[in-house]
Amino acid sequence: MDTREILEQLQKEQITLDQADHLLRRQPYEELGYAKLDMHRKVRSGCAEVIFCQGKADDHLLSIFSHLYEADGEVFGTRANEHQYALIREKFPQVSYDDKSHIIKIEKEDKTHIGSIAVCTAGTADIPVAEEAAQTAEYFGSHVERIYDVGVSGIHRLFSQLDLIQSANCVIAVAGMEGALASVLGGLVDKPVIAVPTSVGYGACMEGLSALLTMMTSCANGIAVVNIDNGYGAGYIANQINHLAK
Amino acid sequence: MDTREILEQLQKEQITLDQADHLLRRQPYEELGYAKLDMHRKVRSGCAEVIFCQGKADDHLLSIFSHLYEADGEVFGTRANEHQYALIREKFPQVSYDDKSHIIKIEKEDKTHIGSIAVCTAGTADIPVAEEAAQTAEYFGSHVERIYDVGVSGIHRLFSQLDLIQSANCVIAVAGMEGALASVLGGLVDKPVIAVPTSVGYGACMEGLSALLTMMTSCANGIAVVNIDNGYGAGYIANQINHLAK
Amino acid sequence: MDTREILEQLQKEQITLDQADHLLRRQPYEELGYAKLDMHRKVRSGCAEVIFCQGKADDHLLSIFSHLYEADGEVFGTRANEHQYALIREKFPQVSYDDKSHIIKIEKEDKTHIGSIAVCTAGTADIPVAEEAAQTAEYFGSHVERIYDVGVSGIHRLFSQLDLIQSANCVIAVAGMEGALASVLGGLVDKPVIAVPTSVGYGACMEGLSALLTMMTSCANGIAVVNIDNGYGAGYIANQINHLAK
Amino acid sequence: MDTREILEQLQKEQITLDQADHLLRRQPYEELGYAKLDMHRKVRSGCAEVIFCQGKADDHLLSIFSHLYEADGEVFGTRANEHQYALIREKFPQVSYDDKSHIIKIEKEDKTHIGSIAVCTAGTADIPVAEEAAQTAEYFGSHVERIYDVGVSGIHRLFSQLDLIQSANCVIAVAGMEGALASVLGGLVDKPVIAVPTSVGYGACMEGLSALLTMMTSCANGIAVVNIDNGYGAGYIANQINHLAK
Amino acid sequence: MDTREILEQLQKEQITLDQADHLLRRQPYEELGYAKLDMHRKVRSGCAEVIFCQGKADDHLLSIFSHLYEADGEVFGTRANEHQYALIREKFPQVSYDDKSHIIKIEKEDKTHIGSIAVCTAGTADIPVAEEAAQTAEYFGSHVERIYDVGVSGIHRLFSQLDLIQSANCVIAVAGMEGALASVLGGLVDKPVIAVPTSVGYGACMEGLSALLTMMTSCANGIAVVNIDNGYGAGYIANQINHLAK
Amino acid sequence: MDTREILEQLQKEQITLDQADHLLRRQPYEELGYAKLDMHRKVRSGCAEVIFCQGKADDHLLSIFSHLYEADGEVFGTRANEHQYALIREKFPQVSYDDKSHIIKIEKEDKTHIGSIAVCTAGTADIPVAEEAAQTAEYFGSHVERIYDVGVSGIHRLFSQLDLIQSANCVIAVAGMEGALASVLGGLVDKPVIAVPTSVGYGACMEGLSALLTMMTSCANGIAVVNIDNGYGAGYIANQINHLAK
Amino acid sequence: MDTREILEQLQKEQITLDQADHLLRRQPYEELGYAKLDMHRKVRSGCAEVIFCQGKADDHLLSIFSHLYEADGEVFGTRANEHQYALIREKFPQVSYDDKSHIIKIEKEDKTHIGSIAVCTAGTADIPVAEEAAQTAEYFGSHVERIYDVGVSGIHRLFSQLDLIQSANCVIAVAGMEGALASVLGGLVDKPVIAVPTSVGYGACMEGLSALLTMMTSCANGIAVVNIDNGYGAGYIANQINHLAK
Amino acid sequence: MDTREILEQLQKEQITLDQADHLLRRQPYEELGYAKLDMHRKVRSGCAEVIFCQGKADDHLLSIFSHLYEADGEVFGTRANEHQYALIREKFPQVSYDDKSHIIKIEKEDKTHIGSIAVCTAGTADIPVAEEAAQTAEYFGSHVERIYDVGVSGIHRLFSQLDLIQSANCVIAVAGMEGALASVLGGLVDKPVIAVPTSVGYGACMEGLSALLTMMTSCANGIAVVNIDNGYGAGYIANQINHLAK
């Protein structure tokens, strides 16, 4: 119901003044005191609210998890640790946890996964971030192809997978160190490349900042960048793009 | 013709050994000595090569412009100045130049512009970058809505345009200073947001670096970032996304 | 007594030369060898000296705590840990400790809390810093409203609290990640906004530096910034402002 | 008129449905195409919109100036240059320009200036920024005391002015180089100190970044910081604080 | 003559005490007051002293040029401008100047150029730096192959030149923007790659710093990096490597 | 067999169409799912693939180690820890581990070590990085001279070893803190100097970044730089250079 | 007269109450409105106030110059330009200007220059900064030895001057680029070394920041650092040290 | 014996050729393999070599300690920990350890301490660094005055100690956070101020970098800076200055 409809109903006395007031003012979130759960994010953005578990207090995490589960029948949490998994499993034995991506979730069965997103990594150390991206996109309904360890130090490995990559609607390039993978992919595909710098490396890698700058300044076209190690963010926007393609 | 087809034709003696060798090795670019024009980029990436005019020597620019015009019948150049415009106009009187976006181009008539991209700016000083983005997307065939001067210091201006923004397939958020516009948009739309930090501002803005960091670390979902002032890059990837949506 | 009064009393022989000399030279601090307690800060700045507990040696902390308690009958310490709480509780059983804000204190009863300060956070992870700010302002006599988890990724949560925020004399905006909350608040209220960047986030957040830069370069008016995670500093200056309003 | 009042009037048929709809949706800004002038900022924040002249195109500047003048009968612009002054003077001969602060304005006569703000500078090179702060605060109705060239290399100059400084409701500390003035002032007054780092200095001053960091990390209480060279921002928030004091 | 030989000659009275003292102490440089020309650098390092022209005063430059010409019969200067060329040409009409690399020189005829160094650039804007590298290596006696405009946005251009690159003793990779060319080359050749970041690009390129970091953190082996835009330094060390190969 | 040879053999029917297709397409790496081992790197670059052990999962490390051992009969791993050593020793009792350089390896006997590389350190704390460099070069067949603790604070120690250093084909300069050793060496030898900044030092050393910048901006010629603490990278390229010298 | 003396004289009625009040309060500076000249800096610090000319308005500069000349009979200004020289020469024809160091001064004749300060530079481009240091120290009464162009790329030039350097009471090391000269000097002399980084260099020199970090993190003892290009600061403190030596 | 004396003795046959050769070449350090102890640093620089204990292996530390003890009868080590103290105490029961400054030493008795150095700190958290400075200067023979906790947030504490500070030959200013103490001291004394930034603070303090920049850019004269937390370096150069004063 939009603003004009509410006004019309009020005029026609189909709703009371209090009801109209309430409808125009209602807070589409659940107030927990320490948090305001965004219960109609799904309506607004197409994807339900996700829990960033890292640093959450035990009682807060459990309470938020429960509220979201009640609302949607499924929950998705990122950056969870073993302790948090144990905590939630006590109340929700059906929860699953992946110690590579650190994703904890209860997921509805028989989801359809449409289209295709290619998730590529430069090395094996980038896989945890890549898995966060891949599993996020899968949770929101995308089909994902994983193409790992195709960094530019042995570029023939990348070329052997090019058909698979080029057939995707969106490519996610996950790379640490110098992050050159994003540029090379940008020059080879005609779909958007979402680049994820990782904190893999040492010294002048500066915890992923060098890879971020590399990806940001790429000479290739069709590349946009998310935060260091932000697999979730890449999976989220790639899923949006993939769903546009239908 | 792909590798296997070439091999089959050779086996069937439809082509000679030299022809097969040539086809497998041919350089899909035009060698100018000082440059190697990427003539089949359109095949590979869907968009023809574009000229980054800034810093190009006069003879180089004119020569590259001519080669690309011959190949495609249209040319698109970014970051051109008045002098370069005069130079090219002498030989190509039909060329047009926009002194806001610094785009120089010869464009085919009667192009179709499909879908919708919303290009938003925080302030009026961000418009040159926004225009580079908008005109790039238009050149490659996208329809663009311009929503300028809707920064967060007067957020009601943004809300009044929300319907227009939410109906686009992709949103470009152009902002300098603290760059908060991208985060606010990310929280309000369900489509990908491509954020472009600009060098607008002074002091701690650090030539756009602060806006870049803001956009990169947004708490909202569905945001990816391109280089500071890189309107062209944003327009390019937004066009890719918009064309996926069809 | 100011300089001229001392001189007049000396001239009138109401005080001796030694007394006058002493009054002009007296050191308004308590010398502990390793520290010089600023005993008349309350006179000079309106607020008694506060203990920054972090990193203080046990004997130093206990000694300073005792001296300040003797002088004022109440003590306020920030960034205390559990160990320091146990240490002080042995000697001062009446001490209280809040493990969220890490504030340790003995506070006089029946304090009046005047005016109003609105303490807002972008997320739940910012609450420890927000509580340090809120409790500091309360200790020095301000009334505080807490409005937590109203970040820009779900901006409707903020708008639902706007009346409460706009009625305060001063607003404290506590936010990590991209820190856009400060800008949005700055555009919506007509009172000073004290922005506190927090170290919440990862990667390009750079331990809070990105939020600091965002807040510093805001396009909105009426914003000033304190150090990363410096809840105490924000609470202190907000209390000064709130007391000016009477 | 707030939401409930509009609804009540609609129910009582004092206004029509269209009027109610309009009132709830109306855009409180003037659309210029390239800009959206925030015409009810004064209502929302207590201060009318100000023009940041730097980088504005001639026709845009003149048009914005005119619109604001028509609305309020006075206009205030910062960072204007001689050329812009000449441009505006042609149409508005009554405009005044100060080549130190680079402020251009038409101001109503007989304004009252209440309270007191002390604007202090470390050196003479900081005066342009200090004047931007002082004149901003005066424009919005504050009384200002200027105390210039009282940096810590000759700290007796500062102490001789201490009475004047301590009697203000708010202190603005303007300093480049190492920016220590803010810390010293913070330790000497019991009112809020708004610190403005300036780009004065060379080498490790890094265009004002060093002063910004100094002010941000001050060991003194009651200090908050605005952007480098942002005299306007300091004057604005100091004026807010001063007006709270009544 | 080394230390022991001098001592033996002294003992055998073939030289006097003064002569021995002189030989052990002699200053192998020419004292000009404002400069100390390193006249036996050729003996020590295999290459004569080179003039860094940028910023040198006219009289100093001319005087240094003359001294070096007298000593060696040839002179090599980098980062010279048109004015300096005119200045030197007046006295040395045989001097030549290349306005691309900004190298000024008088060079002996009939030099032999041995081995092979491949100088590659990512784009055309990197050519001035590449030419400084190439001409430096040629001056010191290396054969150079130029392979320009083979950046990763169109990687097929690079592959078509791979034989030429792989046959060199040393590869110089000159690239601005994200600098990925060095990594790609490092993965494709079995000879040392000397990477030269250039200041080509804008925004997050940060005047070449991003390219420097990329090259420094490459995942490929066999890469070492010189300063931003330091074509001379790359040409110098590549020439050393090429001469080792003989 | 290169492309033309394959085509000729196909034409002469010495190979089948499938074989030709396979030969042109074959993937010269071993697919492990989580990794793609580059099995013909030795062919391409002259050195077999090396394992970067740090951060590898136990099962991944063991599996990669086994595959490489099977292929080459020897394996070289860097940045291994005690736990990884124990893990591998269980299956490969002949493995050796050096707790200074953190290198783990199985090496063929009776290797020849040719030429000479001088590995110099500024202090004793730089030795772990220097050993990584030295042992890498030795593994690939170079003779190495170790000259440790010859930093510029006691420069006579360096001069006493100058003959040894000057007789090498390549010099590796390993230094933390201010990293001046590289510049001094660059001025004293006529062979390439590969500089390795180390993270030794505190405060303004910024984890090795200061040493990196020092080495990058050296006033001496013939210096190129690798990443902070990257002994492996320095040893690798020095070995390439040393083998060129033969 | 110190505080007690003033009090005693008041008690003994040798001075009046007003006089005592005045003496205790008097402002030892000259108020110019825009500046507060520190007229008793010579008493407090041993050196008269010096004018930092850069950026001073013409009338301010002339007025300050005149006031200081009247007070002391000599004036010393740094960072002056030709225009400022012409301006001052009109009123003070006896003024002298050095276009290398950009120092402008009127100096008393027959000054004694005691002790010895060695001012060393790495290259010829560092001389302007070195001259500012040398002439500052001379103005305040020190004897100075200039040893220029002794950087580490040809370290024998430095060793030939070692006796002269070692005989000074204090050494000033002026160097840009990598700034290694300070470390080398610190290891060779037993007197304090004041290091001055200069902005000489390009790229990773980052306007002198790299040299600053090098000098700050030196492995040698007895080094302290002043700001980039701050020859005046180095000359000032070296003069203090030299005068301590008597 | 200098070069000429050696030559004269050889000529007069007072020494043999081998002896002369040896004398001219002898290595004034003790070779330990992993280290080269600088045994005649005392001759060269006036102070014996000191051990930087942090990070040294147990056997290396003990061996170096023993060698230095044998040579000089006393040893001074900085940045030692409890474990290293226990290790050395086993062999040298007379060793003493200060857990505040982390200095370990065996010191000769009845040393004379001449002159005066004032060591000032801004807060109590700066004391460990200050003690390292103070005890270093005392070890090398200087008298030290400790003036702790006199930071600018309560500047009256500093003024009460001014006589003591002004009577020293050299002042050491130790401060973290914003580091303003150095500037204030520089304006109040006429002797050299050696500033030591400390890593005390959080957030924008950036591990001491902000204090370093503050001190480096001070508007006061007579200040030079050493590395963050480098108490040893400050004590060393202050001792050199104090000994010059005699």
pLDDT of residue B238: 97
Mean pLDDT (chain B, rounded): 89
A60 close contact with C: CB closer than 8 A = yes
Rounded to two decimals, what is the model's pTM? Answer: 0.90
Same domain? F97 vs F194: no
> What are the DSSP calls for F135-186, one per residue?
HHHHHTTEEEEEE-S--GGGTHHHHTTHHHHHTSSEEEEEE-TT-THHHHHH
Give the phi and the psi of residue F145 in degrees, each rounded to 5: -105, 130
Residue D3 has pLDDT above 80, yes or no: no
In angstroms, rounded to a whole number, what is the distance separating the alpha carbons of residues H123 and E70?
63
In angstroms, rounded to a whole number, what is the distance separating the alpha carbons of residues D92 and H2?
84
Distances in whole angstroms, Cα of residue C21 to Cα of each of C206, E243, H160? 53, 82, 13
pLDDT of residue F46: 65
Give the phi and the psi of residue F241 in degrees, each rounded to 5: -65, -45
Give the phi and the psi of residue B225 in degrees, each rounded to 5: -120, 145
User: Is there a contact between C178 and B218 if contact means CB atoms under 8 Å apart?
Assistant: yes
Give the pair of three-digit tokens for residue C1.
């007594």
Comparing CB atoms, the residue among H125, H157, H206 nearest residue C29 is H157
Instruction: Please check whether residue A156 is in contact with residue B231, taking contact to mean a CB–CB distance below 8 angstroms.
Output: no
**Neighbouring subunits of E (3+ Cβ pairs under 8 A):** A, B, F, G, H
Give G208-232 pLDDT, tens digit per residue. 999 999 999 998 899 999 999 999 9
Chain length of chain H: 246
Comparing CB atoms, the residue among F152, F204, F213 nearest residue G219 is F152
* Lowest mean pLDDT segment, chosen from C41-45, C48-52, C96-100: C41-45
Q: Report yes or no on chains H and E touching (3+ CB pairs under 8 A).
A: yes
Same domain? E126 vs E227: yes
Residue D68's SS3 state is helix
User: Is there a contact between E156 and B56 if contact means CB atoms under 8 Å apart?
Assistant: no
Residue H91 has pLDDT above 80, yes or no: yes
- The residue among F239, F215, F241, F243 whose CA lies nearest residue F227 is F215
Residue C45 binned pLDDT confidence (cut-offs 50, 70, 90): low
- For F154-168, what is the mean pLDDT? 88
Alpha helices, H only, A54-166: 58-72, 82-91, 127-139, 156-159, 162-166
B172 close contact with A: CB closer than 8 A = no
Same domain? H46 vs H96: yes
User: Is there a contact between H4 and E10 if contact means CB atoms under 8 Å apart?
Assistant: no
Residue D69 has pLDDT above 70, yes or no: yes
**Neighbouring subunits of D (3+ Cβ pairs under 8 A):** A, B, C, G, H
Q: What percent of chain C is modeled with pLDDT above 70?
A: 91
Chain F nearest-CA distance from H209, in A, is 7
Chain length of chain C: 246
- C-alpha triplet A193, A198, A199: angle, nearest 5°: 165
Give C104-150 pLDDT, tens digit per residue. 999 998 899 999 999 999 999 999 999 999 999 999 999 999 999 99
User: Is there a contact between A7 and D10 if contact means CB atoms under 8 Å apart?
Assistant: yes
- For B1-14, what is the mean pLDDT? 74
Instruction: Please check whether residue H201 is in contact with residue H169, taking contact to mean a CB–CB distance below 8 angstroms.
Output: no
User: How many D×H Cβ pairs under 8 Å?
Assistant: 115
Residue G41 has pLDDT above 80, yes or no: no
pLDDT of residue D28: 60
- On chain C, the residues whose CB falls within 8 A of the CB of H154 are 29, 36, 38, 41
H199 close contact with F: CB closer than 8 A = yes
User: Is there a contact between B152 and C216 if contact means CB atoms under 8 Å apart?
Assistant: no
Residue C96: left if φ>0, alpha if ψ -120 to 50, beta else—which one?
beta
Give the pair of three-digit tokens for residue B24.
């497998």
pLDDT of residue G79: 96
- For G141-150, what is the mean pLDDT? 95
Residue C20 has pLDDT above 90, yes or no: no
Same domain? A9 vs A69: yes
pLDDT of residue G235: 97
pLDDT of residue D194: 98
Chain F nearest-CA distance from B111, in A, is 40
Same domain? G118 vs G77: no
- The residue among D203, D156, H209 whose CA lies nearest residue G232 is D203
Same domain? E8 vs E38: yes
In angstroms, rounded to a whole number, what is the distance separating the alpha carbons of residues E94 and E75?
11
Residue E122 has pLDDT above 60, yes or no: yes
Give the pair of three-digit tokens for residue A55.
């640093």
H160 close contact with C: CB closer than 8 A = yes
- For H94-121, what is the mean pLDDT? 95
pLDDT of residue A206: 92
Mean pLDDT (chain H, rounded): 89
Domain containing residue A152: 114-245
Instruction: Please check whether residue E147 is in contact with residue E120, taking contact to mean a CB–CB distance below 8 angstroms.
Output: yes
- Picking from F36, F205, F206 by the largest number of A CB atoms within 10 A of its own CB, the best residue to mutate is F36
- For A53-64, what is the mean pLDDT? 91
- The residue among H196, H169, H168, H170 whose CA lies nearest residue H182 is H196
Residue G42 binned pLDDT confidence (cut-offs 50, 70, 90): low
Give the pair of three-digit tokens for residue A68.
């979201």
- Picking from F124, F148, F174 by the largest number of H CB atoms within 10 A of its own CB, the best residue to mutate is F124
- Picking from H17, H23, H26 by the largest number of E CB atoms within 10 A of its own CB, the best residue to mutate is H17
Instruction: Please check whether residue B28 is in contact with residue B40, taking contact to mean a CB–CB distance below 8 angstroms.
Output: yes
- The residue among G157, G147, G117, G171 whose CA lies nearest residue E33 is G147
Mean pLDDT (chain D, rounded): 89
Instruction: Please check whether residue H52 is in contact with residue H102, taking contact to mean a CB–CB distance below 8 angstroms.
Output: no
Q: What percent of chain D is modeled with pLDDT above 90?
A: 64
Same domain? A154 vs A170: yes
Q: How many CB atoms lie within 10 A of CB C82?
A: 10
Comparing CB atoms, the residue among E8, E20, E25 nearest residue H17 is E8
Residue E1 has pLDDT above 60, yes or no: no
Q: Report yes or no on chains F and E touching (3+ CB pairs under 8 A).
A: yes
Chain H nearest-CA distance from D228, in A, is 15
Residue E238 binned pLDDT confidence (cut-offs 50, 70, 90): very high
In angstroms, rounded to a whole number, what is the distance separating the alpha carbons of residues H128 and H102?
8
Give the pair of three-digit tokens for residue B154.
């007067």
**Side-chain half-sphere of E1: how many Cα atoms within 13 Å?**
14
- On chain H, the residues whose CB falls within 8 A of the CB of C56 are 124-125
Instruction: Please check whether residue G119 is in contact with residue G68, taking contact to mean a CB–CB distance below 8 angstroms.
Output: no
Give G84-135 pLDDT, tens digit per residue. 999 999 999 999 999 999 999 999 988 999 999 999 999 999 999 999 999 9
In angstroms, rounded to a whole number, what is the distance separating the alpha carbons of residues F71 and F66?
9
Chain G nearest-CA distance from H182, in A, is 13
In angstroms, rounded to a whole number, what is the distance separating the alpha carbons of residues A172 and A174?
6
Interface of A with B in 27-56 (CB under 8 A): 44-47, 50
Among the three residues E106, E123, E157, which one is the final residue of a domain in this structure?
E106
What percent of the residues of chain A are helix, what percent strand, and what percent coil, each to the nearest 5? 45, 20, 40
Same domain? F156 vs F189: yes
User: How many E×H Cβ pairs under 8 Å?
Assistant: 27
Give D4-21 pLDDT, tens digit per residue. 677 778 888 888 877 776
Q: How many CB atoms lie within 10 A of CB G9?
A: 16
User: Is there a contact between C25 and G17 if contact means CB atoms under 8 Å apart?
Assistant: no
Same domain? A102 vs A147: no
The DSSP H or E segment spanning C232 is helix C231-245
Here the CATH number for the domain that contains residue A210 is: 3.40.50.1970
Helix axes H3-11, E3-11, angle to 10 degrees: 40
In angstroms, rounded to a whole number, what is the distance separating the alpha carbons of residues A71 and A94?
17
Residue F185: closest C-alpha in chain G: G153
In angstroms, rounded to a whole number, what is the distance separating the alpha carbons of residues E134 and A31?
68
Residue E26 has pLDDT above 70, yes or no: no
pLDDT of residue F31: 74
Residue H1 has pLDDT above 80, yes or no: no
**Which residue would you say has higher pLDDT here, C223 or D110?**
C223
Residue B231 has pLDDT above 90, yes or no: yes
Residue A25 has pLDDT above 60, yes or no: no
Residue D211 binned pLDDT confidence (cut-offs 50, 70, 90): very high
Residue E41 binned pLDDT confidence (cut-offs 50, 70, 90): low
B228 close contact with C: CB closer than 8 A = no
Same domain? H119 vs H240: yes
F179 close contact with G: CB closer than 8 A = yes
pLDDT of residue H47: 73
Same domain? G98 vs G150: no
- On chain G, the residues whose CB falls within 8 A of the CB of H245 are 244-246
pLDDT of residue D201: 92
A190 close contact with E: CB closer than 8 A = no
Residues 6+ apart with CB under 8 A from H26: none
In angstroms, rounded to a whole number, what is the distance separating the alpha carbons of residues F176 and G137?
34
H172 close contact with G: CB closer than 8 A = no
pLDDT of residue F24: 63
Residue F63 has pLDDT above 70, yes or no: yes
Interface of D with A in 3-22 (CB under 8 A): 3-4, 7-8, 10-11, 17, 20-21
Give B18-30 pLDDT, tens digit per residue. 777 666 654 466 7
Residues 6+ apart with CB under 8 A from B180: B122, B151, B152, B214, C152, C178, C180, C183, C184, C214, C218, C219
* Lowest mean pLDDT segment, chosen from A174-188, F208-222, G154-168, H165-179: G154-168
Give H4-26 pLDDT, tens digit per residue. 677 778 888 888 877 776 666 54
Alpha helices, H only, chain H: 3-11, 17-25, 41-45, 58-72, 82-91, 127-139, 156-159, 162-166, 181-186, 209-216, 231-245
Q: Which of A8-12, D142-146, G48-52 has the highest mean pLDDT?
A: D142-146
Number of compact structural domains in chain F? 2
- The residue among H7, B56, H237, C67 whose CA lies nearest residue E17 is H7
Among the three residues H84, H106, H128, which one is the final residue of a domain in this structure?
H106
pLDDT of residue E29: 67
Alpha helices, H only, chain D: 3-11, 17-25, 41-45, 58-72, 82-91, 127-139, 156-159, 162-166, 181-186, 209-216, 231-245
C227 close contact with A: CB closer than 8 A = no
pLDDT of residue G15: 85
Residue G14 binned pLDDT confidence (cut-offs 50, 70, 90): confident
Among the three residues D49, D83, D106, which one is the final residue of a domain in this structure?
D106
In angstroms, rounded to a whole number, what is the distance separating the alpha carbons of residues B177 and D79?
16
Residue C177: closest C-alpha in chain A: A227
F215 close contact with E: CB closer than 8 A = no
Q: Report yes or no on chains D and F touching (3+ CB pairs under 8 A).
A: no
Q: Which amino acid is at G183?
A: S
Residue A96 binned pLDDT confidence (cut-offs 50, 70, 90): very high
- For F51-79, what is the mean pLDDT? 91
Same domain? C128 vs C218: yes
Mean pLDDT (chain C, rounded): 89
* Lowest mean pLDDT segment, chosen from B112-116, F202-206, G22-26: G22-26
pLDDT of residue D81: 96
